[in-house]
Structure 1
Amino acid sequence: MKLERKHALVLIGIAVWNVVTYVTFIKNLAGTEGRPTGYYVAHTVLIIVNLVIAAVLGTWGYRAYKATRSTRVKV
């Protein structure tokens, strides 16, 4: 499958959005007290999984963007 530049930018945008929202979520989670341990474990797993997804999407987006850039330069 060939990704175009717009697809690469969407993947990068989604990755950035995930990082921004989950960093905010981490800050909010750190500010809570008195919750059961399961609450923190579940939300920590959720944060880790979504940050890994953001890393994968960002990597794919970067590679696709780089590939489209190299093919556009050739005339």
Structure 2
Amino acid sequence: MKLERKHALVLIGIAVWNLVTYVTFIKNLAGTEGRPTGYYVAHTVLIIVNLLIAGVLGSWGFRAYKASRRTDVKV
């Protein structure tokens, strides 16, 4: 499957969005007190999974972007 530059930019954009929103979520979660342990466990798992997804999408996006730059070069 060949991804074009626009696909790569969408993947990178989604990865950045996930990263920004979940870093904010981490800060907000750290500021809470008095919640049950299950609350923190569930949200921590959610954060980890979404940051991993952001890493995978970002990696795919950067690889696709680099590949699209190589194919755009014309001599």
> TM-score normalised by the shorter chain: which range applies?
over 0.9
In structure 2, the gaps of 5 or more residues are: none
1:66 aligns with 2:57: no
Aligned residue pairs, count: 75
Deviation at 1:70, TM superposition (A): 0.6
Normalising by the residue count of structure 1, what TM-score does the alignment of the two structures yield?
0.98
Deviation at 1:74, TM superposition (A): 3.2
Normalising by the residue count of structure 2, what TM-score does the alignment of the two structures yield?
0.98
Segment of structure 1 superposing worse, 21-30 or 65-74: 65-74
Q: 1:48-63, aligned counterparts within 5 Å?
A: 48-63=48-63
Q: 1:38-57, aligned counterparts within 5 Å?
A: 38-57=38-57
Runs of at least 4 residues off by over 4 Å? none
**TM-align CA RMSD:** 0.6
Q: Which amino acid aligns with 1:67?
A: A
C-alpha separation in 1, matches of 2:74 and 2:17: 32
User: Paired residue for 1:27?
Assistant: 27
In structure 1, the gaps of 5 or more residues are: none
Percent identity between the aligned chains?
89
